[in-house]
A and B are shown apart, each in its own frame.
Chain A
Amino acid sequence: MTKELGNTGLLVIELMKTIKKYFKMYFLLVKYAAAADLTYWQNLSIGLLVEIFYQVAFLAFFAVIFFQTKSIAGWGPFEIIVLLGIDTFTSELLVGMILVNNTRELPNKIWSGELDRNLLTPVNPIFILTFGRPYFPSFISALPGFFLIWYGLVKLGVRLTVIGLAGSMLFFILGFILIVNMVLDFSLLTFFFQDTQTLPKIGERIAFSFTSRPDDMFGGFLKVLFFFLLPVVYVSSFSAKALITGIDWKYLCLAVLLTLISLIFTKWLWQKAIKNYSSASS
């Protein structure tokens, strides 16, 4: 009994150490990405401008829609603004943490042999492939998201509660993990289909096109698709709802379950992929 407890204790300490190691590593990676980008501040400013342009264009698109109609799938303009604020985070963090230099680059890494090196560092290779090279400008351009959320909430007259905030963050984190796994899974298919840059892009497209949509828009087959198979609705839509109207516990449980499944699936896919891997000939 005491021995059992001792083991669990050790395990927890081990786990904490590992988590600390990865956080420390990630902090360094972001710091270096920032430093590298700052040496090319022209690039940084252009990158920022591009990201902000996207956001403005996107907002304008919704503004146009609200000229025509009072609500989208039951969501009024200020609810949509909260949603878009959260989605600014989602998409910018997705771009900055995952896409630009990582999952999108997987085919190149396989082709160039860089993956070999990743495999030989004593760090989880999935971590490196997913987070190894952050793209810094997106971390900055995620920030206006705060303003949108704040503005939307004020206009709606919502009073934030600790529970609502916690629920929203939980939805965001789970939803984000789900999206990352989805994007990563599409990238991993590169191992089986070799050529093309297409596969990583498919995952990205799905993420970008649908995370910003209110979940109530989807019914029938689309509901099955975007709630279960390509679970894009949790990260922005459900975390917005958690802030505005409260936590939907049923879907929170579902999100937890799906997250577990997707983590397991990704791991399985990775193992298949790497078994198939024959390195680049050099």
Chain B
Amino acid sequence: MENNHVIEAIDLSKTYLIRKKEQGIVGSIKALLKNKFNEKEAVKNISFTIDPGEMIGFIGPNGAGKTTVLKMLSGILFPTSGKVKVLGFNPSDRKSGFLKKISLVMGQKNQLIWDLPPIDTFHLNKEIYEINDDEFDKNLKELIRIFEIGDILDQQVRQLSLGQRMKCELVASLLHHPEILFLDEPTIGLDIIIQKKIRQFLKIVNREMKTTIILTSHYMDDVKEIAERVIVINQGSIIFDDALKSLSKRFANYKMVYLTLNKEVPKNILSKFGHIIKYEYPEMVFKVSPEKVAETTFFVLKNLDVDDININEPELEDIVRALFDK
């Protein structure tokens, strides 16, 4: 098999068996003996390949199966069926040769030692990943520069802000120069400015360290800014896998019209032109197909008392939401 993919997934599925919960230890022994399960098909026959150096966004609503995919790719979970190869390894074997080439960061889950400064966690990782002294010094210096954490290295982790902690978290997971970095909702809970910063840092990491980055998110912003390719997943299936640009081309065959009105009008007055998304006087938003834009504008300006009108490309957010609603 000709193969320069770093990741190759074929017909990958994961079904969780959820043991029916019963109270207490007696209950759980009973449940164990009865072997009663609920099944939950979290990921259904998905296939994709990823090449070295790519930066990919997995997006989808909550419960779509994004985290489950990452857990199978990183080796935490055995797939129920299908095949997956990551860097030539079968991830769930969790060979140390494999684990030394990847990293998984889950937003809000901490690997930093809480009561000590981040530099101590870095040193522990040096031992865990068997990084030699020179390489460690070099990598650490590089990462301190990229993530701008020089001034917080010696502060107790518990005293750091969420954003600072995430930066250190990322540094800790990159010290061994993994070939693949898996990120599960890395910007969750961070304020907008830090989110933006983190995205920039990740771009630098991808560019300078040649790390393949795979990130899940339900924030479109994450994906919009850094991923060149998106995989949209919904209810366990991939519904789109292509360049970010073609996402809007493929699915956004409409324009958004934003109105600010001076006088209230009946809701259905514009319904023959397009679909009203939001109407909370004085704001009105609706979508119209491109060929109807001129007609609509004309009608609006002639018949309604408008303070302001704007015609825009749809937000990626809306495109994706529309996809999920189908």
20 contacts across the A-B interface (CB closer than 8 A) = A28-B124, A28-B127, A32-B116, A36-B113, A113-B109, A114-B109, A116-B109, A117-B111, A120-B74, A120-B75, A120-B103, A121-B99, A195-B28, A196-B24, A196-B28, A198-B25, A199-B25, A278-B77, A279-B77, A282-B67
User: A71 an interface residue at 8 Å Cβ cutoff?
Assistant: no
Collect the chain A residues with CB atoms within 8 Å of residue B32's CB.
192-193
- How many residues on the A side are at the interface (Cβ–Cβ under 8 A)? 33
For A48-69 the 0/1 string (1 means CB < 8 A from B) is 0000000000000000000000
Q: Please, how many angstroms separate the alpha-carbon atoms of A113 and B67 in the complex?
A: 12
* Chain B contact residues, majority secondary structure: mixed
- The main secondary structure of chain A at its interface with chain B is helix
The CA of A181 and the CA of B103, in the complex, are separated in Å by 30
Are B99 and A278 in contact (CB-based, < 8 A)? no
How big is the B interface, by class? 35 or more
The answer, yes or no, to whether A194 is at the interface (CB within 8 Å) is yes
Of the candidates A112, A114, A195, A199, the one having the most CB atoms from chain B within 10 angstroms of its own CB is A195
Q: What sequence of 0s and 1s flags, for each residue 32-54 of chain B, a beta carbon within 8 Å of any chain A beta carbon?
A: 10000000000000000000000
Contact B100 A122 (CB under 8 A): yes
Is A29 part of the contact surface with B, judged by Cβ < 8 Å? yes
A120 touches B94 (CB 8 A): yes
Q: How far is the CA of A32 from the CA of B94 in the complex (A)?
A: 27
CA distance A198 to B27 in the complex (A): 13
When distances are taken between beta carbons in the complex, the residues of chain A under 8 Å from B245 are none
In this assembly, does B196 line the interface, its C-beta being within 8 Å of a C-beta of chain A?
no
- Contacts of B116-168 to chain A: CB distance below 8 A: 116, 120, 123-124, 127-130, 156
Given contacts A120-B76, A121-B99, A193-B32, contact A21 B115 (CB under 8 A): no
Q: A261 on the interface (CB 8 Å rule)?
A: no
Interchain CA distance A93-B124 in the complex, whole Å: 22
Known contacts A32-B113, A36-B113, A119-B94; decide if A25 and B25 are in contact (CB<8 Å).
no
Contacts of A28 in B (CB 8 A): 123-124, 127
Contact check, B94 vs A117: say whether CB atoms are below 8 A apart.
Answer: no
Q: Find out whether the CB atom of B21 lies under 8 angstroms from the CB atom of A25.
A: no
**Complex formed: what's the CA distance from A113 to B108 in Å?**
11
Within 8 A of A (CB), among B64-114: 67, 71, 74-78, 94, 96, 99-100, 102-104, 106, 109, 111, 113-114
In the complex, are the beta carbons of A120 and B28 less than 8 A apart? no
CB nearest to A39 among chain B residues? B115
Interface residues of B (CB under 8 A from A): 16-17, 19, 21, 23-25, 28-29, 32, 67, 71, 74-78, 94, 96, 99-100, 102-104, 106, 109, 111, 113-116, 120, 123-124, 127-130, 156, 184
Is the CB of A205 closer than 8 A to any CB of chain B? no
Interface: A264 (CB within 8 A): no
Q: Please give me the residue from chain A that is nearest to B104 by CB atom.
A: A120
How many Å from the CB of A201 to the closest CB on chain B? 11
CB-CB contacts of A229-240 with B at 8 A, as 1s and 0s? 000000000000
Contact present for B78 and A275 (CB under 8 Å):
yes
Distance A254 CA – B49 CA, assembled complex (angstroms): 54
- Min CB–CB distance B225 → chain A (angstroms): 24
B127 & A21 in contact (Cβ 8 Å cutoff): yes
Bound form: Cα–Cα A36–B94 in Å: 31
Q: Which residues from 240 to 282 on chain A have a C-beta closer than 8 Å to any C-beta of chain B? A: 275, 277-279, 281-282
Which residues of A sit under 8 angstroms from B23, Cβ to Cβ?
195
Q: Which residue of A lies closest to B130 (CB)?
A: A21
CB of B25 within 8 A of CB of A193, answer: yes
A221 close to B (CB within 8 Å): no
Q: Which residues of A contact B99 (CB under 8 A)?
A: 120-122
Q: Is A35 an interface residue (CB 8 A)?
A: yes
Q: How far is the CA of A32 from the CA of B99 in the complex (A)?
A: 24
Give which listed residue, A21, A119, A195, contacts B76 with CB less than 8 A. Answer: A119
Given contacts A28-B124, A120-B103, 4 further A-B contacts (CB under 8 A): A112-B109, A119-B75, A119-B76, A123-B96
